[in-house]
Amino acid sequence: MSSYTRFAAFFLCALGLSLPAPSEAKCRIKGPDLEIAGVKLTDSDSAVAVVGASPKLVESEDDLPHARFVSTNGSQELVLFAHYGAVEDEYAEAEVRYAGPEALALKDLPIESFKTARGVELGMSVAQVQALFGTCFKSRQKTGQELFFEYEVADADRDRELMAFGYPIYYAEYEFKKDKLVRFRFGFAYP
């Protein structure tokens, strides 16, 4: 075997090891959520129609500027996150969680349960969420009764479903306690 042939064989072998396996390349969240309670991500018109124009954005060292709302019955909180430099009333990320006592001071919306366009809402089981989005997620068990997992679409700006939004990464994360969804957040990661 010549040195060129050995080099070519080594190169092809190394190249084959660096490519993702076909199953890895195809593993992707099924139908990412892009809407919560009628608010479409990055669509200011839908946001104004649901939460009103120019709600007060809270600045935080730990997170993006955001507006908070509570459900009619005061049990759920919706947080809409604005990216720096975004158009007014345009939100690229959303979070839903059970409301604490401080949520009573928030603006309430005429919505009892904040549900996504795909049907995700608090109280769902792990199996119900996985049935909607598949099992292509990163997961970790936090404690015996708590589970957290996250879906991600890297290169979302080249993904046929997400490219129109122009963001490089889409994510969705779900937190469960005793097999019930207690918090979820999804949207486009701030670049």
Torsion angle of C-alpha atoms 92, 90, 39, 95, degrees rounded to 10: 40
Averaged pLDDT, 118-131: 96
For 159, list phi and psi in degrees, rounded to 5: -85, 135
pLDDT digits (tens, 9 = 90+) for 41-66: 999 999 999 999 999 999 988 999 99
Provide the percentage of residues in the chain whose pLDDT is more than 70. 85
pLDDT digits (tens, 9 = 90+) for 2-37: 444 443 443 333 434 333 333 344 688 999 999 999
Residue 1 has pLDDT above 70, yes or no: no
Task: Note the pLDDT of residue 26.
Answer: 65
